[in-house]
């Protein structure tokens, strides 16, 4: 069995007799590795290593730092199959190599901003003065990673941090730490200076609070649940540490009567089933206009029924859907489905565990109709392959229902009417709105949520600026000097 070690200041730290965390393959329910269960002392060592390394790292030019990022992206590409297989094993994701390549592309994209992010020269009221605003690194960054897209989200935090002159401490989820430790092995063989990237692991309650509350940390970037985000903010508050949070979502998809129903069904099903429904920004609830509801439900049920479950690592497999992350998580999803049916929803597809599998946390693709807007299945996040559907009469009604949520990450609308498109763009209160397509944010966009979906964001120049602070310099000089 593999056993990983923490990576601090360019060294792998012997585990000794420390407590270890077992990592389970959700497809086979077998223990596949053990990782260190970190302590507050480990957090302190990693942060201090990053803090010392940041002093010299920040003095390098952005172009020089970008060179290190490009080197790292190249090494990730070279090891894509290994990294992808590691993710598929510990998380059950289909197409995991695509996540790895996407991370490499994102790192390369961010590196191209080395000559593009900038400060300003601001006019002064004093003729003998210039005002300069510099963009400076915020310092030590902490990246707390999720289990659903652990490697890609890593790139979203690591790349802008390193480009801007920050150093970073990465803390992977206890469910999926192996890929981050494999990355540490790659970094150890690269030319990156010691301490610039550090990897530690452990229980979220201990490590998250210690990292967020450390006085030497400049920013904590978290992708996770709302309760986790609240705890991070509470811990960061004592030092007024900056936080960037991407938390839960309950994305609505609105299907108008004039929509291309085949296109809408394919897009919504494909998006909902991505990573077996375990994606913060995937479509979580559908509102379809009454006059086309029956036709749309028939079409989307047919599409959803084509998604078969299985272990993506089995040779020759063509499965589209892997397992849920854990047995506990499967039970949470199943409980919500049963509650919805008890409240009056009708299950037209799936509705329970995939009993054709002897082992593994596999859940059937599920479609629920006749759902009421006030039902929990339409309001709380369901991290699984479950699609609840409700109907509406008017655009005013559905915009109000879509906005009636504690979340505000992503949204979608399917229509051919330009007026309806623009109303949705102006009135849907979400960080992102997709028109006649499903969610798949771009490197050059800005992925951010409103309300309980988070603070700050990632991607594009705005994501890079999360890791920068403004330093204003007033320069007074003698205009009369010859």
Q: Kindly name the residue from 280, 282, 309, 361 that is annotated as catalytic.
A: 280
380 Cβ neighbours under 8 A, 6+ residues apart: 250, 336
Query: Sign of the C-alpha dihedral, residues 401, 403, 409, 412?
Result: positive
Question: Collapsing DSSP states into helix, strand and coil, what is residue 410?
Answer: strand
Active-site option among 175, 182, 246, 284 = 246
Q: Which of 188, 105, 213, 209 is closest to 151 using CA atoms?
A: 105
CB 367 within 8 A of CB 348: yes
User: Known catalytic residue: 309?
Assistant: no
**What HEC string does 241-270 produce?**
CEEEEECCCCEEEEECCCCCHHHHHHHHHH
The DSSP 8-state label assigned to residue 447 in this structure reads B
- Order of strands, sheet of 468-476, starting from the edge strand that comes earlier in the sequence: 120-122, 129-137, 468-476
CA–CA separation, 318 and 277 (whole Å): 18
* Tokens encoding 246: 């991407």
**Cβ–Cβ < 8 Å for 242, 138:** yes
Q: What is the gyration radius of the CA atoms in the chain, in angstroms? A: 24
User: 194: burial class by Cβ within 10 Å (0-12, 13-18, 19+)?
Assistant: middle
The reply to whether 280 belongs to the active site is: yes
Which residues are designated catalytic? 246, 280
């Amino acid at each position: 069995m593999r056993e990983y070690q923490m990576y601090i200041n360019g060294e792998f730290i012997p585990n000794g007799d420390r407590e270890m965390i077992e990592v389970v393959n959700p497809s086979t329910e077998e223990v596949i590795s053990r990782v260190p269960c970190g302590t507050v002392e480990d957090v302190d060592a990693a942060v201090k290593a990053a803090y010392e390394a940041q002093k010299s790292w920040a003095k390098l030019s952005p172009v020089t730092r970008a060179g290190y990022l490009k080197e790292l992206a190249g090494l990730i590409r070279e090891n894509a199959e290994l990294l992808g297989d590691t993710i598929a094993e510990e998380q059950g994701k289909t197409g995991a190599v695509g996540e790895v390549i996407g991370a490499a592309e994102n790192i390369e994209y961010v590196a191209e901003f080395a000559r593009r992010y900038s400060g300003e020269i601001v006019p002064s009221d004093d003729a003998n003065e210039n005002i300069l605003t510099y963009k400076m690194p915020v310092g030590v960054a902490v990246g707390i990673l999720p289990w659903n897209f652990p490697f890609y989200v890593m790139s979203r935090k690591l790349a802008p941090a390193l480009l801007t002159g920050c150093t970073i401490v990465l803390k992977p989820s206890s469910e999926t730490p192996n890929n981050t430790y494999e990355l540490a092995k790659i970094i150890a063989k690269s030319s990156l200076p010691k301490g610039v990237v550090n990897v530690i692991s452990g229980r979220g309650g201990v490590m998250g609070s210690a990292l967020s509350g450390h006085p030497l940390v400049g920013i904590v970037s978290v992708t996770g649940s709302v309760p986790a985000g609240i705890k991070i903010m509470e811990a960061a508050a004592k030092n007024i540490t900056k936080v960037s949070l991407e938390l839960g979502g309950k994305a609505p998809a609105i299907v108008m009567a004039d929509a291309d129903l085949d296109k809408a069904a394919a897009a919504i099903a494909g998006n909902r089933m991505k990573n077996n429904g375990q994606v913060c920004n995937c479509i979580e609830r559908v509102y379809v206009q009454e006059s086309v509801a029956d036709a749309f439900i028939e079409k989307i049920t047919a599409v959803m029924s084509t998604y078969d479950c299985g272990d993506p690592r089995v040779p020759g497999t063509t499965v589209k859907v892997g397992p849920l992350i854990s047995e506990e998580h499967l039970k949470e999803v199943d409980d919500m489905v049963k509650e919805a049916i008890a409240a009056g929803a009708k299950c037209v597809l799936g509705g329970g565990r995939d009993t054709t599998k002897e082992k593994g946390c596999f859940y059937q693709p599920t479609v629920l109709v006749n759902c009421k807007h006030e039902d929990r299945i339409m309001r709380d996040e369901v991290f699984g392959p479950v699609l609840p559907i409700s109907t509406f009469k008017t655009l005013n009604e559905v915009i109000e229902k879509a906005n009636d949520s504690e979340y505000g990450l992503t949204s979608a609308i399917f229509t051919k009417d330009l007026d309806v498109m623009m109303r949705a763009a102006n009135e849907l209160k979400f960080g992102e709105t997709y028109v006649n397509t499903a969610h798949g944010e771009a490197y050059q966009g800005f992925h951010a949520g409103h309300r309980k979906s988070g603070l700050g964001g990632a991607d594009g120049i705005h994501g890079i600026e999360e890791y920068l602070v403004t330093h204003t310099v007033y320069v007074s000089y003698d205009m009369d000097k010859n």
